[in-house]
Structure 1
Amino acid sequence: MASSSSSSTNYEYLSLLDAKKAIDININLLAVITEIGSPKKSRGSDYYLNLKIMDQSSPALSVNFFSLDPTKFPQVKSHEDIICLQCVKMKIHKGDYYIQYQKRRSSFALFEGKSGGDAHPYQTSADYVLSSQGKDLLQQLRSWLLDPSHTSTVSCLCRMKDIKIGVEIDLVCKVLYVVELSTNEWMLFVWDGTDAPPVTFTQELDVEGESPLPLHFETMPYNMTVPPVGSILRVVVGKHFKEVVQLQSADQWIKLCNMTCITECGFWKGLLLNICKIRFLGEADANVKLNIREYENRVTSQVRQPLACSHQPSSITELDFEDYDDVPYFSLRESLLRPERSQRFKSIVRVLAAHPWRTHELRLDRDCCQISLILEDPTARIRAYVKDAEKFFGHCRNVETISSKLKKLLGIPDIGEAGPSNAARDPPWVWCCIKSYFVNGVDADPWIDERYWIDCTIMRG
């Protein structure tokens, strides 16, 4: 058992299991941080912070800090960093153990976790001293974190590009925006720099005119700052998750634990149930660094093609203009949020629906724009109108050839004109040249007021 004097170097450290047997006694602990809270105003005049820690002997326990100055709290850089706590007390309330940090007697130090190599803390409180036993325990905890068999705090992480319907995942992501859906639910807009998998569609093509595919699952604010590439996942969160209040400022990295995903109208949606957890991460976290590094490498590429398009886009379409190299490449979201009132750009997209899609309903007159297409890439979904249908179909007027081209574009088998319109389809990725303009003035909302034309794009085959 440790002395309460913080000037002594003869500190002994208890495991969390042994600490549970030392209720209301001054003890010293070294443990791994598994959850990072944010400072909150307490019912009194001070602030409150909660961290959760664990070691090889025990599941996670809470550590409660109180201070008049929130800057005095531990400023944890990353999930699974290590904290040293001196002269704290183990408490028990209604059968639950927790650790109380004493404002006038306790001290702490923060160390890098498995990425650390020395015993130098990156933050300490006043009067903190690390003993020789503490140095040995620090190295033991780091070795434990590096052990491949260690799974107590390191779950199998999933990138957004690997999500699957109904499978529980842990997702490290950045919160871009939070919106209140109802008195009971929030929605988080989260991003990790990768693309969610493309969804297979079964909606009947014949009803596209009367009941078109929605362009937005939940519309984002048009002035919201978002990265140009990488899918944005909508995550529904119950109001019982108090952490959401701390996410209102957005731009925070978090880990969503035990989340499941579903699809609605071709959009991915995440669900956080009661068993799920939200953990706060810093930019020093190894997984956060990986996401940022991979995103930066991707965004600097001249053509930031969708991750699902691992090879060259399909040759079903080609772009037809002399100044091909002068036309910029944009993702659909990038085009939506650019300040220009009109644009011409090229993009790699999928065609989810066409109206009309049966050839006997098509009018191929140059001046009659009767065809609308729903285009999608990993960042957004838009409706675009075919400006010159005759050119779009390669100046072809053969009904069977046009029908075959459309079905290839929509990703459905060539089952004949009278075949079912609700066949499962997985549209190919294709090049497309697009022109845009706004129907309203300078204050137009691009999610509502921007219109698109298919331009200089020809179907082959």
Structure 2
Amino acid sequence: MEIRDDYKFLRVEDAFKALHLNISLIGVIVELDFPTASDCSCTLKIIDPWHSGSGLPVKLIARANRSLPRVESIGDVIFLSSVKIVLVSRKITALCNETSSSFALFNGEHGEGFVPYQSSPKFRIRDQDKSFLSNLREWMITYKFDDGSCCFTSLKDIKEGEHLNLNCQIVHVSKDDKDRCYIFVWDGTEMPPCSFVAKSERLPLCVEPEMMLPTHVLRTFPTFGSVLRIIVENVTEKQAIQCLQPGQHVKFLNLFLQVNMGLWSATFSPSTKMQYTPRREMQSFSPQRMCREKFSSRWNPITRCISSPSHSGITGVAHEDAPFVTLMDILTYSNVTAKFRCVVRFIQVFPRDVRNFHDLNGKFKLLAILEDATARIHASLYADEGDKFFGCDPSDEEALIKKLNKLLGGDRMNEAPRNPPWVQCCLFSYYRNKNDQWGSRRFRIFDTWINAK
């Protein structure tokens, strides 16, 4: 298709009145659906300074998925030429067909250049187009998008089995060896703790798709609030999330929430969309705004938001003067070896049978999975520290079982759901291999005990 030099842009509000006409448009992308593999199409919404509604739907159809727009960021600008205004599911929609229409995508940031990062083969930008593009970029600096924010749910209010809209920050995007993609997102709040059913297999950690994320990646994670994993398996969904980068603020519409092995996760539904987040919201959505209480200690100088989280009192520690830190603080601490005090839940222990807590030499050995709102870690109880922790005769199986069940929030062998209590404990980190200190970093419980009452 030849792109004529005399085409004119129609305002978005006027496009709603141009049914069955072929027109050209320029607009800011404020919402993005995921491509449909069956018909090689995708849908997005655009706005401009003269349209204050939710946006004009634009459906783009191509011969192959690779020809569809690959939007790098919600808020980018799209040029559309010779699109037809039609009705799709009774909604006015601009139809961009590869055979008769063309498009071009530009970075939406103010001050960027005039070269599209993706365009149809015959698209050519004119001088007057550059003026339109500059004006749109400048307008978007102060524009407030009416997205119905009252319909968004915080992570602290999520419920299993429900669909919700989430306003969040992208923390990390990764892929495992089974080609599943994971989007780690955060909004500064803490997800509700989950109940557990006794399992013989080891529970997964929060920050491991298939294996633990490396330390340099974990250090980009926030150290307070919960990080939710969005699991992406569909091929077309993977193509759509290529525009997501750590640090971006995105609104997801119609995510499905579920719990598996005590871990919250989300998946895309057929109606899931990504929506624009204005810069004004991005600037206010920051740890500095949410976290104002700070202190440091002689134990480890970690800046904290919460100085005294509540716990059940089931355990006692020998270092009451030490500050509380989160497990993500511990995972991302700058030194390999350090001591910490935290409030956690014991969600699983190995071995499960108290008769196997001591080895053939009579030495105590136990591995626990600890959890707080930010992460899960493995931590060991070893030798005298293990005996101190339970505070009873190693041969008194009944006393060990009673204390263990109290710690786990129910019978460790029972299939009934249990809700482990929050307890305080002291941890220290160490390494097993001097030549690979970070790779061999481990955690051990010390100077902690289960109270008699």
Tell me what 2:427 maps to.
Answer: 434
Retained in 2: the 8 A contact 1:171–1:256?
yes
Q: 2:205 matched to 1:212? A: no
Tell me what 2:364 maps to.
Answer: 369
Q: SS of 2:216's equivalent? A: coil
Q: SS of 1:404's equivalent? A: helix
Q: SS of 2:156's equivalent? A: helix
Tell me what 1:450 maps to.
Answer: 441
Out of 222, 225, 235, which is 1:227 matched to? Answer: 222
Q: SS of 1:408's equivalent? A: helix
**Paired residues for 1:243-262 under 5 Å:** 243-247=240-244, 249-262=245-258
Cα distance in structure 2, aligned partners of 1:20 and 1:58: 18
Cα distance in structure 1, aligned partners of 2:221 and 2:365: 34
Cα distance in structure 2, aligned partners of 1:276 and 1:299: 38
Q: 2:380 matched to 1:390? A: no
Change (3 A) 1:371 1:221: closer
Change (3 A) 1:420 1:389: closer
Cα distance in structure 2, aligned partners of 1:348 and 1:366: 32
Cα deviation per residue 1:246-304 (whole Å; 9 max; x = unaligned)? Answer: 22x42212112211122222222211133211234354226x72454553337779655
Cα deviation per residue 1:52-108 (whole Å; 9 max; x = unaligned)? Answer: 2385777533499xxxxxxxxxxx9997x9x9x9x9977317864169897444526
Cα distance in structure 2, aligned partners of 1:222 and 1:32: 37
Tell me what 2:311 maps to.
Answer: 313
TM-fit CA distance, 1:379: 2.1
Change (3 A) 1:103 1:162: farther
Amino acid at match of 1:392: F
Q: Which residues of structure 2 form unaligned runs of 5+?
A: 1-5, 34-43, 61-71, 88-92, 97-102, 105-124, 297-302
Cα distance in structure 1, aligned partners of 2:359 and 2:304: 32
Change (3 A) 1:154 1:16: farther
Out of 264, 285, 307, which is 2:260 matched to? Answer: 264
Cα distance in structure 1, aligned partners of 2:242 and 2:73: 20
Cα distance in structure 2, aligned partners of 1:366 and 1:17: 81
Tell me what 1:53 maps to.
Answer: 47
Tell me what 1:340 maps to.
Answer: 335
Q: SS of 1:274's equivalent? A: strand
Q: 2:152 matched to 1:157? A: yes
**How many percent of aligned residue pairs carry the same amino acid?**
24
TM-fit CA distance, 1:171: 1.4
Tell me what 1:92 maps to.
Answer: 84
Retained in 1: the 8 A contact 2:151–2:165?
yes
**Paired residues for 1:162-241 under 5 Å:** 162-181=157-176, 185-204=180-199, 207=200, 211-215=201-205, 217-218=208-209, 219-224=212-217, 225-237=220-232, 238-241=234-237
Change (3 A) 1:358 1:256: same
Amino acid at match of 1:386: L
TM-fit CA distance, 1:351: 0.3
Q: SS of 2:414's equivalent? A: coil
Normalising by structure 1, we get a TM-score of 0.66
Aligned length: 375
Retained in 1: the 8 A contact 2:227–2:374?
yes
TM-fit CA distance, 1:337: 2.4
Amino acid at match of 1:430: V
CA RMSD, 1 decimal: 4.5
Retained in 1: the 8 A contact 2:410–2:419?
yes
Retained in 2: the 8 A contact 1:16–1:58?
no
Q: SS of 2:236's equivalent? A: coil
Q: Which moved more, 1:363-372 or 1:184-193?
A: 363-372
Q: SS of 2:194's equivalent? A: coil
TM-fit CA distance, 1:220: 1.8
Cα distance in structure 2, aligned partners of 1:229 and 1:403: 33
Tell me what 1:73 maps to.
Answer: none
Tell me what 1:71 maps to.
Answer: none
Amino acid at match of 1:53: I
Q: Which residues of structure 1 form unaligned runs of 5+?
A: 7-11, 38-49, 65-75, 113-119, 125-137, 146-151, 414-418
Change (3 A) 1:312 1:365: farther
Q: 2:414 matched to 1:421? A: yes
Tell me what 1:69 maps to.
Answer: none
Cα deviation per residue 1:317-364 (whole Å; 9 max; x = unaligned)? Answer: 01124xx43x45332222222232222111111001223455455449
TM-fit CA distance, 1:173: 1.8
Change (3 A) 1:357 1:21: closer
**Paired residues for 1:7-86 under 5 Å:** 15-16=13-14, 18-21=16-19, 23-24=21-22, 34-35=30-31, 52-53=46-47, 60-62=56-58
Cα distance in structure 2, aligned partners of 1:191 and 1:296: 14
Cα distance in structure 2, aligned partners of 1:185 and 1:16: 43
Cα distance in structure 2, aligned partners of 1:378 and 1:255: 22
Retained in 2: the 8 A contact 1:77–1:283?
no
Amino acid at match of 1:23: L
Change (3 A) 1:351 1:23: same
Q: SS of 2:160's equivalent? A: coil
Q: 2:453 matched to 1:459? A: no
